Amino acid sequence: MVNFQQIEVILAEDEEMFREMALPNIIEAGIAEDKIHIAEDGQEAIAHLDRLQAQAAPGTVIVMLLDVRMPVMDGNKCAQTVQESVASGSRAACPFMICCSANIREVAETSSGDFHMTMPKSFSPSSVAYCMTMAFNWCKANSPSSSPGVAEKSISAASGSSATTRTSTNNSDTAPRTSTEDYDGSIDVIVADREPICRMALVANMPSTGTEDEPVETEDEDETMDALRHAQDINPGRPILLLLGVPGWLPLVQKLNLTTRKPFICVISVDGREYPGYATLPGSYTKVDILEMLGRTREWWKKGCLES
């Protein structure tokens, strides 16, 4: 269960208007005002982080909301600096860092990958609550209980991913039967979820899929089924990764008669439940987890081809 009282938020934003808009939404999401620490640039944010990590009680979750464009030190440089300090051992724990930008798709293409999530401006209380829940769950899954701040290791230094894949009867059986000779490693991605913020978070944290095509976003069962049917007629030489945020839609996907391009299905498991036969991503996924899932999709595709 998420305990918002354990969360300390560092809000780094140089524009006063955006700070004034953000503060009440963070409070409405469930974060106490005295646990919100304002910074006007990346250097001030790191100063807050140093103080909180020195003073915070064990079990404290530290979340940094970092604007991309700020004077002195921008959000990208701030996140990179924090990750480097964790990787070098000079910082014991890594906070959960969220990139805040008016153009999160651009950030997804240009950022160095040091953020754990992205969130659009101007964010709503529900968006904040969603991101704080992701941060809390990720922190508790990756941090030692005695050390405030979040994870023992940075994203780049992590020895393992929290993404999981089971021995997959369903996904293995859906492997395509075609030639690997011309396969260039590209993947078509369908992101299926009712909640716009959930789809946005997945798309914004999506590493390169090897294609110029944007991931297809669907918001209900019918759109998802239509997207899978439409995909049967295009790009036969590469796999489809279906990132499914609503496990209840699985039976509908199973009933589709997809004879040409059956998808590799990955269920986003917010509650930690396992779905035998399918790959799963935890609700506290990071960009590293999605990158690993893309790799597993490629291996699944190649294995199916080689077994034909």
189 and 277 part of one domain: yes
Residues 199, 126 share a domain: no
Structural contact between residues 96 and 138, judged by C-beta atoms closer than 8 angstroms: yes
Per-residue pLDDT of the chain (308 residues; tens, 9 = 90+): 788 999 999 999 999 988 999 999 999 999 999 999 999 999 999 999 999 999 988 889 999 999 988 999 998 899 999 999 999 999 988 999 988 876 655 454 445 557 787 777 777 888 888 888 888 888 877 765 444 554 443 333 332 333 443 333 456 554 444 555 567 888 999 999 988 878 888 887 787 777 777 899 999 999 999 999 999 888 888 899 999 999 999 999 988 878 778 899 999 987 778 888 899 988 778 777 888 899 899 888 888 754 43
Query: For residue 157, is it within any domain?
Result: no
Q: Is the domain of 111 the same as that of 168? A: no
Does the residue 151 lie in any domain? no
Structure tokens at 39: 């910074």
The answer to whether residues 134 and 259 belong to one domain is no
Question: Do 121 and 176 lie in a common domain?
Answer: no
d(CA 108, CA 287): 10
Kindly report the number of other CB atoms within 10 A of residue 41's CB atom. 21
Residue that terminates a domain, selected from 107, 142, 177: 142
d(CA 191, CA 214): 10
* Domain annotation covers residue 156: no
**Could you tell me if 76 and 117 lie in one domain?**
yes
Are 185 and 210 in contact, with CB atoms under 8 Å apart? yes
Tell me, yes or no, whether 159 lies in a domain: no
Name the helix (H) or strand (E) containing 79.
helix 75-88
Check whether residue 87 and residue 45 sit in a common domain.
Answer: yes
The domain that holds 207 is classified in CATH as 3.40.50.2300
Is residue 43 a contact partner of residue 71, using CB atoms and an 8 Å limit? no
pTM of the model: 0.57
Q: Which residue, of 79, 107, 142, is where some domain finishes?
A: 142
Boundary residue ending a domain (83, 110, 142): 142
176 and 116 in one domain? no
Give the domain extent around 9. Answer: 4-142
295 falls within a domain: yes
- Asked if residue 126 and residue 50 are part of one domain, the reply reads yes
Same domain, 137 and 186: no
The total domain count for the chain is 2
Which tokens belong to 11? 């809000």
Q: Please, are residues 300 and 264 in contact by the beta-carbon 8 Å criterion?
A: yes
